[in-house]
Chains A and B, each alone.
Chain A
Amino acid sequence: MSKYARLVYNSIAETLTYRTNLVVSFGVIAIPFIIAVIFWRGVFFANNSVANYSLKDIITYYFIVLFIQDFTYPALNYDIVMDIKSGRLNLLLIKPVNYFWYAFFLRLGSNIVYFSVVMFFLIIYALVFNQFLLLTPDKIPVFLLSFLLSYILGRLISFFFSIFVLFLENYMGLESFVNFIVPIFSGILLPVNLLPGLLYKISSYLPLRLLVSYPVEMYLGKENLNIGIIYSYFFWIVLFALIDIFVWREGLKKYRAVGG
């Protein structure tokens, strides 16, 4: 087994250790979706459409967000943050592994557990709520391509936020900032098209919309994976790859390895 495959295996085993907590965690994921169905059904009872979204569009939107957000959300990676804060990074730097790939595969392990369990729940929801879900099989290939690009971009942005802790004494401010801007501008809170004017304008200058909103809108047929969007994905992927390399190199110069 290669060293990175071993990392994925260990991460899966660790995630599965606290099973009760794990199962209830998926309730935490499920509840917002069930309440979203109740809420939007209530909204559409009195309104025929919201912007250009129908009830099926909106429910399908949140259904897919539920599936992809764990993969593409650029949250601070606690494994990285704790490696830096505790000084454990010292040990990892002398090991024959690339730290970016180390963190990437560690995260992939928990993604796989999430994917396996969430798929089980999603199939149940799809059966229970099928009258609210929009099926567009012809859009699945563009959705998957867009999702793959979002995943890569999401990991790169997450790595950027996480290694930025090398410059900081405390990561809580950065974490609050990330958890404030990402749900609004990525489309987790609600489709970006529905944001009020100024927020919508700001979102068009950020890469966050590419992480959640674009893949879902492609599935819904509201966006096409045209050359402009593909360029946009590659532009941000290359930019964040370069930023990550720069921040990592400069951050290591600042890193004092004090731990504690």
Chain B
Amino acid sequence: MKRYLKIFRLQLVNQIVSYSIFKGDTILLLISDTFGLIFSVIFFKALYNNIHAIGAWNYESTLLLVGIANFVDSFYRFLFEKNVRRISALVRKGTLDYALIKPIDIQFYLSTGRFNFQTLSSLLLSILIILHAVKLLRLAINVFNVIVFIVLLMVGISLRYVFSLYSSIISFYTTRVSAFHSLQAEIFKYAEYPLDVFRGLTERIFFTLMFPIILIANAPAIAIIQNRNYLVILSIFISAVHFYLSRALLFASLNKYQSAGG
């Protein structure tokens, strides 16, 4: 574990140096990365100007959802996206060989090392939105609440990572997977929607088990707003199942790797 933390720290320092070389470009990317979050705020502001609530969700609680969903997405993109999306290129070019011969866990190697610093702006903005929403909602926060909230955020980040890994694993079987990445990214964009829009049982099961977008922002928000933690165990369980499934699939798919490249 200590060895992996040391590798992680070295990778982080390395990336900070490379980002600091292109300052102008980095600033531009930092600004543009907040656009998605601004879209969401405008969308819900416009909507709630014309309606009172969506089920039990008013503008303030939906703002909390938007903040959480974007925090999870930004954190995933900061730590994992560049790495996981690179897998298909490694498979296609046959350069995965270099990764396979390294004395390190292959999933760790493929999932870390490249950080996306442009997401730091939306990460920060998401935190500000969460704090603003908490203030508007006048929530009573205690230590237990905060711990549950943080655990559920980690569950959300893990789920986001796992589904991206699923998309990359497809690259062992078909050449181009960019559309699969776009597809899962598109689905997870809707994590900010209030739970009450998913009215049917089939929808709720599908978006909890198959594409668990409900667990990403709604579970932490419900835990903190309503002090109801019934989604905690379910979230952790589903996240663990998907994590082990993705790991098993990755190793099974590595057996298919032919190092063909070209």
A residues apposed to B, CB below 8 Å: 18, 20-22, 24-25, 27-28, 31-32, 35, 38-39, 41-43, 45-47, 50-51, 170, 172-173, 176, 179-180, 183-184, 189-190, 194-196, 199
Contacts and interface: CB of A to CB of B under 8 A. Distances in A.
B47 A194 contact: yes
A74 B50 CA distance: 29
B43 A196 contact: no
A2 to B, nearest CB: 32
B52 A38 contact: no
Grouping DSSP codes into helix (H, G, I), strand (E, B) and loop, the B interface class, with mixed when no group exceeds half, is helix
B174 interface: yes
Contact of B190 (A27, A35, A46, A194): A35
B150 interface: no
Interface in B18-55: 25, 28-29, 31-32, 35, 38-39, 42-43, 45-47, 49-55
B198 interface: yes
Nearest to B55: A46
16 contacts: A20-B179, A21-B176, A21-B179, A28-B179, A28-B186, A31-B186, A43-B54, A43-B197, A45-B55, A46-B51, A46-B52, A50-B47, A51-B50, A184-B39, A194-B49, A196-B49
B174 to A, nearest CB: 5
Interface string B174-185: 111111101100
Smallest CB-CB A-B distances: 8 pairs: A42-B197, A176-B32, A24-B179, A21-B176, A47-B51, A21-B179, A180-B35, A25-B179
Interface of B: 25, 28-29, 31-32, 35, 38-39, 42-43, 45-47, 49-55, 174-180, 182-183, 186-187, 190, 193-194, 196-199, 203
B43 A190 contact: yes
A45 B52 CA distance: 12
A28 B45 CA distance: 26
Nearest to A184: B42
Grouping DSSP codes into helix (H, G, I), strand (E, B) and loop, the A interface class, with mixed when no group exceeds half, is helix
A28 B182 contact: yes
Given A42-B198, A173-B28, 6 more contacts: A32-B186, A42-B197, A43-B47, A47-B51, A180-B35, A196-B42
Nearest to B195: A42
B62 to A, nearest CB: 11
A194 B46 contact: yes
Given A50-B47, A180-B32, A195-B46, A45 B179 contact: no
B179 A196 contact: no
Contacts of B174: 20
A22 B177 CA distance: 10
Given A42-B198, A43-B197, A194-B50, A24 B183 contact: yes
Contacts of A173: 28, 32
B28 A42 contact: no
Contacts of A20: 174, 176, 179
Contacts of B51: 43, 46-47, 50
Nearest to A44: B51
- With a 10 A CB-CB cut-off, give which of A18, A21, A41, A194 has the most chain B CB atoms: A21
A42 B25 CA distance: 41
B29 A39 contact: no
A45 B199 contact: yes
A27 B47 contact: no
